[in-house]
């Protein structure tokens, strides 16, 4: 701001550019302070320090709910099926994983076959050697 009181007169455009530079520098400082204050890692860390029991109980309840949802259903005392195979497949994970395993198996077979094909082509072409030129018989007449 001391530059505004300088003996030479600045044009309005130069004054506007000078004000813009000052505003940008102040905005950068405020942006840095705001990014430090609203950093998600810092917020969670501070919340964990302040509310440890709430986080521990929420983690325990959430883990129990996930265990119940994703684990296999409890075996019934009297089941209609004699075999135990249907009881192990009744869990949510098994229901979700059946289509995924089929897709993974197909993808693995495709990748394996393409890898084997390129490996064999490279391996066989390396051992073939350069093509031998065909010689025509010469006559000694």
Query: Higher pLDDT residue, 31 or 128?
Result: 31
Residue 121 within a domain: yes
Residue 96 within a domain: yes
Residue 67 within a domain: no
Residue 109 within a domain: yes
Q: Which domain holds residue 90?
A: 86-126
Number of domains in the chain: 1
Report DSSP state, residue 63.
H
pLDDT at residue 54 is higher than 90:
yes
If you average pLDDT over every residue of the chain, what do you get? 78
Residue 119 within a domain: yes
- Percent of the chain surpassing pLDDT 90: 23
**Predicted structure pTM score:** 0.34
Cα separation, 2 vs 30, whole angstroms = 23
Residue 18 within a domain: no
Q: Residue 87: pLDDT band by 50, 70, 90 thresholds?
A: low
CA distances from 42 to 39, 45, 48, 50 (A): 5, 5, 10, 12
pLDDT at residue 104 is higher than 90:
no
Q: Give just the sign of the alpha carbon dihedral 47, 51, 55, 61.
A: negative
pLDDT of 124 reads 74
């Amino acid at each position: 701001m001391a530059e505004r009181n300088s003996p030479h007169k600045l044009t309005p455009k130069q004054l506007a550019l000078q004000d813009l530079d000052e505003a940008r520098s102040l905005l950068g400082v405020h942006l840095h302070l705001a990014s430090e204050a609203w950093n998600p890692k810092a917020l969670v860390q501070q919340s964990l320090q302040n509310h440890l029991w709430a986080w521990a109980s929420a983690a325990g309840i959430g883990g129990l709910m996930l265990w119940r949802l994703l684990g296999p259903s409890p075996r019934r005392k009297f089941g209609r099926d004699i075999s135990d195979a249907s009881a192990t497949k009744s869990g949510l994970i098994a229901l979700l994983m059946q289509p995924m395993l089929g897709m993974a198996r197909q993808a693995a077979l495709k990748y394996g076959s393409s890898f084997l094909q390129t490996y064999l082509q490279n391996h066989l072409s390396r051992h073939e050697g350069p093509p031998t030129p065909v010689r025509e018989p010469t006559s000694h007449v």
